[in-house]
Structure 1
Amino acid sequence: MAKSKFSIGPAALVAAAFIGPGTVTVATKAGANFGFSLLWALLFSILATMILQEMTARLGVIGQKGLGQSIRELIKNPALKAISIILVVSAIIIGNAAYEGGNIAGATLGVQAVWDYPDFAGLDLAALIIGVIAFFVLLTGSYKLIEKVLIAVVLLMSVAFLVTFVLTKPDFGELFSGLLVPSLPDSATLTVIALIGTTVVPYNLFLHSSSAKKKWKTAEGLKQARQDIYISIPLGGLISIAIVSTAASAFFGTQLEVNSAADMAKSIEPAFGDLAQYMIALGLFSAGISSAITAPLASAYALTGLLNIPENLRSNKFRAIWMVILVVGVTVASLGLKPVSVIWFAQIANGLLLPIIASFLLWAMNQGFLGQYKNTLWQNLLGFLVVIVAFVLGAKSLLSAFKLL
């Protein structure tokens, strides 16, 4: 038998999805406000992501099922099935539309930090450019092209943020201490929740299972799928770590107020030069494109599976779903609307959805259709740990959204 050739694939889409401008902003604030001390939370979130995404890859490759399809098939009680589908569909539409708007708005702020461009017919030009790029990439209906574009975007983000990281000359002793020794400074709890919550996201579980199913059709592909996870997800984590470290090196302990990556782009130039400023803006713009493509795509995969619609990227129903998410996101960002209220809804949606979807995934991974590839005891224990953390994260997210935390 010929040896299978390894290639980066669906896990790169997951990395592209979780490294959006929202993640960049959270990582920037974490570094500026708490230095290197919260890097351990990123390390945990990357490990948790790898555990869950390995399960979704097995579900897609071995079971040849997307997670949405599995949820629909596993729940036999008609009333419970209807409630579950309505809950998940509502959360996905609200959550992904809100995150799409917030992420594109975040990307435009980064561009505005280095480029004073005019509006186009009263709309934000950068938001429109990002939206148009995402629209035509998704409109091709070619999974291979979408995958290649997102791999290129992830590599571009890697270069942009790693160059900035090198320019700020971080203290590697403090970096490794923050990475390996957990600590929780005063007022850091919500930032830890945000760091984990922007990495371990429920939409990626739908995206990965469906895209893995498309890429690999036999059990022989599982080795490639796992290699893909072990390279792509840590690379995404490395980008987040680089952003936290850059902000920590440049701003922690100073009097400068940095609330977003756009602030970092503006403030970093005097100390570290034009190159650092432009690299941050380039990284944010790339992150905006990655989010503008993956959020609508994940929504379409999730909803088609749940509603028993064929997962055909060229079908009108599939396209209608991602178009709605993309148009709402670009509209929120390009009209200059403050995304605070929609992000409030997104917090609620994510808080409800993450532990529920993680539990559904764990349930699916113990079903007989997976044969010898269903979860082992250790995989169940690790998955259960992630579900518990997801539940606590979701509860705190909801309390935060309702101003009770």
Structure 2
Amino acid sequence: MKRFFAVTLGILTAIGGFVDIGDLVANALVGSRFGLSLAWVVVVGVVGICLFAEMAGRVAAVSGRPVFDLVRERLGPRAGLLNLAASFGINLLTLAAEIGGAALALELATGIDYLLWVPAVGLVAWLVMWRVKFETMERVFGLAGLALVVFLVAFFALGPDYGELGRQLVHNPSDDGAATYWFYAVALLGAAMTPYEVFFFSSGGVEERWTRRDLGVMRANVFVGFPLGGLLSIAIAACAATVFLPQMIEVDTLGQMVLPAGLAFGQIGLALVIFGVFAATFGATLETALSSGYSISQYFGWQWGKYVRPREAARFHATLLVSTIVAVALILTTIDPIKVTEYSLVLSAAALPLTYLPVLMIANDPDYMGDRVNGRLSNTLGTFYMILLLVVAVAAIPLMLATKAGQ
């Protein structure tokens, strides 16, 4: 049982990374427009995030320090500041979207306008980060997010045309042009490899006081949590491809996204999926807010973390509070939280090399890693992904402008 709970950090990270509010709708939208023709992007993203999360977790377990704590030391203050500015800006946008997403889930459950829920979600999130222990937080929200497995069960219950879905894997059924197809490919890859995931994961390892003896636990987190998140992403797209694509209905709201579970299991299915959406988006709210606090505090050398009393990490907790307030204020302008996340995914894709190059460099540095530096396979895959991420970073913004964000 203890080992089972040990993987909840990976589950929370994966739920927050793969199935936050933007991904919930984005995967349903992709499924309703492109079927399963973009499922390969999720697979590429899962392999990539597993590769770099394993490096980040290994750095934390061997050195006792999270990745961002070493970025400034290894690359210098200027490069570290560039990394900080990009990651913090994206985190803030994503935090706003997650707060809005949790509020949207509460609107579906209660019928009360989501804007009225936004301040309450922000307040409860801050109270959880301030008062609840890290281990309790990750276990409760990581495991609660598993309610989204209802999508996987619903897919089989809907009786899909497996032959048609198989054809979609190799043939795009959409009439949209190549630029739109590749725009969503970039967005899905950005979703799978969102920068805050590795910052949260490595900092969480330090919160849990991982050492070399915990490398097995760390890898269990990586190789259970992230593939699970990818599987849920594909299940959401497959449900949309089964229900909406044959009717040529494009999904663009949270209410449409949860409909397949309702069609499969009625009110019980709807209740489960809405609960799962809330747990996933609220967990992602905690994850992105903590990542913002981690990155700022680690760059400036402040005391940080939930493993110390709040008074001993006052600036860390102040950063969490200010970030949450700014995010709440952004959503209260009535900006669409789903659109905010979709744009943040593209910006994440553009910033991916800034995040993952330092991870690759530190994981190869014997001064930090000793005999636990990367092996040949990790470096070969890491080099391949760095080239891929550079291509994605160059293409992300032009594709967004050319397609008007996939419209």
TM bucket normalised to smaller: 0.7 to 0.9
Q: 1:404 to 1:23 in 2, by over 3 A?
A: closer
| Structure 2 residue 43 is matched with structure 1 residue 43 | yes
Equivalence for 1:78: none
Q: 1:203 to 1:355 in 2, by over 3 A?
A: same
Q: CA deviation at 1:170?
A: 3.1
Q: Distance in 1 between matches of 2:77 and 2:294?
A: 18
Q: Distance in 1 between matches of 2:63 and 2:107?
A: 46
Stretch deviating more after TM superposition (271-280 or 58-67): 271-280
1:317 is matched by which residue type in structure 2?
R
Match of residue 133, structure 1, among 124, 131, 139: 124
Equivalence for 1:205: 198
2:34 is matched by which residue type in structure 1?
F
Q: CA deviation at 1:83?
A: 2.4
Q: 1:174 to 1:60 in 2, by over 3 A?
A: farther
In structure 1, list runs of 5 or more residues that go unmatched: 76-80
Equivalence for 2:389: 390
Are 1:15 and 1:235, in contact at CA under 8 Å, matched by a contact in 2? yes
Equivalence for 1:346: 344
Q: Equivalences for 1:26-175 in 2 at 5 Å?
A: 26-75=26-75, 81-113=76-108, 115-117=110-112, 124-140=115-131, 142-158=133-149, 160-173=150-163, 175=165
2:62 is matched by which residue type in structure 1?
I
User: Deviations 1:246-282 (Å, cap 9, x if unpaired)?
Assistant: 1111101213232233333368757874444444433
Equivalence for 1:293: 286
Partner secondary structure for residue 253 of structure 1? helix
Q: Distance in 1 between matches of 2:256 and 2:167?
A: 27
1:205 is matched by which residue type in structure 2?
V
Match of residue 337, structure 1, among 335, 338, 341: 335
Q: 1:177 to 1:74 in 2, by over 3 A?
A: farther
Q: CA deviation at 1:88?
A: 2.1
Are 1:262 and 1:281, in contact at CA under 8 Å, matched by a contact in 2? no
Stretch deviating more after TM superposition (343-352 or 316-325): 343-352
Are 2:95 and 2:285, in contact at CA under 8 Å, matched by a contact in 1? yes
Equivalence for 2:226: 233
Equivalence for 2:249: 256
Q: Distance in 2 between matches of 1:107 and 1:392?
A: 33
Q: Distance in 2 between matches of 1:345 and 1:257?
A: 19
User: Deviations 1:356-382 (Å, cap 9, x if unpaired)?
Assistant: 111111110110121221011211111
Q: 1:58 to 1:267 in 2, by over 3 A?
A: closer
Q: 1:184 to 1:86 in 2, by over 3 A?
A: farther
Q: Distance in 1 between matches of 2:16 and 2:36?
A: 24
Q: 1:367 to 1:237 in 2, by over 3 A?
A: same
Are 2:107 and 2:113, in contact at CA under 8 Å, matched by a contact in 1? no
Are 1:296 and 1:326, in contact at CA under 8 Å, matched by a contact in 2? yes
Partner secondary structure for residue 311 of structure 1? coil
Matched residues, number: 391
Are 1:56 and 1:361, in contact at CA under 8 Å, matched by a contact in 2? yes
Partner secondary structure for residue 257 of structure 1? coil
Q: CA deviation at 1:35?
A: 1.2
Equivalence for 1:15: 14
Partner secondary structure for residue 251 of structure 2? coil
Q: Distance in 2 between matches of 1:257 and 1:398?
A: 24
Equivalence for 1:375: 374
Equivalence for 1:319: 317
Percent of residue pairs bearing the same amino acid type: 24
Are 1:89 and 1:303, in contact at CA under 8 Å, matched by a contact in 2? yes
Q: CA deviation at 1:55?
A: 0.5
User: Deviations 1:32-77 (Å, cap 9, x if unpaired)?
Assistant: 11112221111111111111111011000012121111111112xx
1:252 is matched by which residue type in structure 2?
L
User: Deviations 1:2-61 (Å, cap 9, x if unpaired)?
Assistant: xx9562143223213212111111101111111122211111111111111110110000
Q: Distance in 1 between matches of 2:135 and 2:388?
A: 34
Are 1:105 and 1:333, in contact at CA under 8 Å, matched by a contact in 2? yes
Are 2:88 and 2:295, in contact at CA under 8 Å, matched by a contact in 1? no
User: Deviations 1:125-158 (Å, cap 9, x if unpaired)?
Assistant: 3323432332221011622122222322332333
Q: Distance in 2 between matches of 1:207 and 1:114?
A: 29
Q: Distance in 2 between matches of 1:184 and 1:87?
A: 41
